[in-house]
């Protein structure tokens, strides 16, 4: 019995401390170093932010280069398929364009009417001043735990933590980490994402919480409220960060929301600089 | 002669290159578009297999750096993946010290112990010390599928290992 305990002790000590022929460091040394780095990073010591920022910018660039072969194959096959689909799509688009031309006229009328009504309400006109930074998605590595993307704009372009990020006119997430040349965007379906939203004719207020899956969920609804399917969900702007009225998605069953923007298909996104002047979160 | 030496060197470095490439590139093993809960961690399999079968192919320092790179790409606090990888490496070294000859079943079982502790440390550190929220269920699914796919990679790497051995004996 005692000899087996001795064996365990010897093997464990050996595993921790021994350095093989190709090993320059013992495991215990590296475990201690990793723990120190972890706690320095988590507790946000002043010098860690610039260090991390430099490391991030460097590794994101390397990652972009390393990922280029894996991007090429799906892109090439996708383009061939696109060629086959393009003709029929063109016909459909022509028809759709006609419909939108008609709608554009009514939208223009409604926009003017809306502006006039806002003037009457003495609302904040600055809301309509758009100030976007167009960014390329560098990395969209899908993680089982975190849903985020890396974009090629950082604090150099005026991006701050907390800023909303859009795909066309649809909200896709917010900036959670800024480096000098790059930023990380937390997507709406991430478990850590919380966005104040409004929907329906009555302007019901709720919080859109990421589920970790593909569909975020509506929470903090009025008591007894049953969510109907197919209703458009918009940002409410109650947090003072997001512009009110940015479309997000459509309600589905059990309070889930199907997002308008497919997070795995993002190539370019816009960061909205118009409202935020200082970092939040 | 020279080219065959270089080829052999590259073949020997295969596991290390694969580990770094998987950590730094966009290639992921999360197939949410096909099956929402399907995700597994190939890096843990690579580390466990090569540390227990051919430790000279995968130095601890490289495992540590691959973990740091993975943290940056994934957006985790620096050092957490390194710790997780080093725990797997520790168990693999321990098993290697304790056993003479292993079969796939024993490797499979000991790999379960390795990833259990590795993911437990990962989860505990993330939940208690960082602001990032992760789901225990997601971590469990990841652990389960990593364990499930282990035999496939075991056979694949055993074959690759035999190529390295043949090259060295030639």
Element (H, E) at A256: none
Assess whether A143 and A54 both reside in one domain. no
* pLDDT score recorded for residue B73: 87
Assess whether A59 and A80 both reside in one domain. yes
Assess whether A117 and A252 both reside in one domain. no
Domain enclosing residue B11, as ranges:
2-169
Q: Quick one: CA dihedral A188, A192, A196, A200, positive or negative?
A: positive
Q: What is the pLDDT of residues B93-149, one digit of tens each?
A: 888 888 877 788 889 999 999 999 999 999 999 889 888 888 888 889 889 999 999
Assess whether A164 and A207 both reside in one domain. yes
- B-chain CB neighbours of A34 within 8 Å are 64, 67, 79, 82-83, 86
Where a domain ends, among A97, A123, A149? A123
**Residue A175 belongs to a domain:** yes
Which structure tokens are listed for A264?
């795995």
ipTM of the complex: 0.87
DSSP annotation string for B112-124: HHHHHHHHHHHHH
Assess whether A145 and A238 both reside in one domain. yes
Question: What CATH number is associated with residue B73?
Answer: 1.10.1760
**Residue A14 belongs to a domain:** no
d(CA B167, CA A24): 25
Domain enclosing residue A38, as ranges:
26-123
- B-chain CB neighbours of A140 within 8 Å are 26
Work out how many domains chain A is built from and give that number. Answer: 2
Assess whether A138 and A172 both reside in one domain. yes
Where a domain ends, among A123, A149, A180? A123
**Residue A76 belongs to a domain:** yes
Three-state SS at A10: helix
* pLDDT score recorded for residue B40: 82
**Residue A11 belongs to a domain:** no
Assess whether A50 and A142 both reside in one domain. no
Q: What is the pLDDT of residues A235-271, one digit of tens each?
A: 888 777 777 888 888 888 888 888 888 877 788 898 9
Q: Which residues, numbered 110 to 169 in chain B, qualify as contacts with chain A under a Cβ-Cβ cut-off of 8 Å?
A: 125, 129-135, 138-139, 141-142
Work out how many domains chain B is built from and give that number. Answer: 1
Assess whether A165 and A219 both reside in one domain. yes
Q: What is the pLDDT of residues B3-13, one digit of tens each?
A: 778 888 888 88
**Residue A4 belongs to a domain:** no
- B-chain CB neighbours of A50 within 8 Å are none
Size of the A and B interface in Cβ pairs below 8 Å = 159
* Local confidence band at A126 (pLDDT 50, 70, 90 cut-offs): very low
Question: What CATH number is associated with residue A138?
Answer: 2.40.10.340
Which structure tokens are listed for B145?
């599928």
Assess whether A111 and A163 both reside in one domain. no
Element (H, E) at A261: none
d(CA A43, CA A40): 6
Q: What is the pLDDT of residues A71-84, one digit of tens each?
A: 677 677 777 777 77
* Local confidence band at A36 (pLDDT 50, 70, 90 cut-offs): very high
Does the pLDDT at position B32 exceed 80?
A: no
Assess whether A232 and A152 both reside in one domain. yes
Where a domain ends, among A101, A123, A145? A123
């Amino acid at each position: 019995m005692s000899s087996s305990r001795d064996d365990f002790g010897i093997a464990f000590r050996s595993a921790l401390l021994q350095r093989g022929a190709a090993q320059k460091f013992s495991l215990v040394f590296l475990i201690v170093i990793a723990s120190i780095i972890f706690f320095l990073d988590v507790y946000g010591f002043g010098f860690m932010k610039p260090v991390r920022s430099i490391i991030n910018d460097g590794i994101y660039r390397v990652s972009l280069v390393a990922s280029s072969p894996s991007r090429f194959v799906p892109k090439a096959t996708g383009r061939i398929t696109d060629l086959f689909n393009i003709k029929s799509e063109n016909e459909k688009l022509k028809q759709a364009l006609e419909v939108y031309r008609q709608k554009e006229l009514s939208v223009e009328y409604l926009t003017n009417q809306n502006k006039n009504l806002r003037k009457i309400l003495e609302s904040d006109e600055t809301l309509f001043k758009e100030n976007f930074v167009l960014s390329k998605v560098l990395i969209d590595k899908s993680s089982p735990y975190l849903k985020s993307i890396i974009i090629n704009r950082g604090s150099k372009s005026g991006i701050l933590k907390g800023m909303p990020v859009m795909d066309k006119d649809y909200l896709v997430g917010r900036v959670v980490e800024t480096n000098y040349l790059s930023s990380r965007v937390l997507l709406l379906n991430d478990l850590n994402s919380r966005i104040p939203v409004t929907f329906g004719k009555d302007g019901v207020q709720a919080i859109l919480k990421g589920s970790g899956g593909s569909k975020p969920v509506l929470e903090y609804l009025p008591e007894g409220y049953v969510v109907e399917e197919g209703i458009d969900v918009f940002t409410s702007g109650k947090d003072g960060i997001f512009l009110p009225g940015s479309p997000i998605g459509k309600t589905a069953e059990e309070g889930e929301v199907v997002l308008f923007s497919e997070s795995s298909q993002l190539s370019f996104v816009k960061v909205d600089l118009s409202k935020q002047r200082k970092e939040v979160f | 002669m020279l080219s065959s030496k270089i080829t052999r060197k590259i073949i020997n470095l295969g596991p290390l290159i694969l580990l770094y490439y998987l950590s730094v590139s966009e290639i992921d093993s999360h197939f949410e578009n096909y099956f929402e809960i399907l995700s597994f961690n190939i890096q843990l399999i690579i580390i466990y297999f090569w540390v227990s079968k051919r430790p000279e192919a995968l130095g601890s320092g490289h495992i540590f750096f691959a973990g740091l790179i993975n943290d940056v790409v994934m957006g985790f606090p620096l050092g957490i993946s390194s710790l997780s990888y080093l725990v797997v490496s520790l168990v693999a070294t321990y098993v290697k010290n304790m056993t003479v000859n292993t079969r796939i079943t024993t490797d499979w079982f000991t790999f379960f112990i390795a990833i259990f502790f590795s993911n437990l440390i990962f989860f505990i550190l993330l939940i208690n010390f960082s602001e990032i929220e992760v789901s225990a269920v997601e971590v469990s699914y990841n652990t389960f599928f990593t364990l499930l796919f282990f035999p496939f990679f075991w056979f694949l790497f055993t074959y690759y290992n035999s190529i390295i051995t043949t090259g060295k004996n030639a």
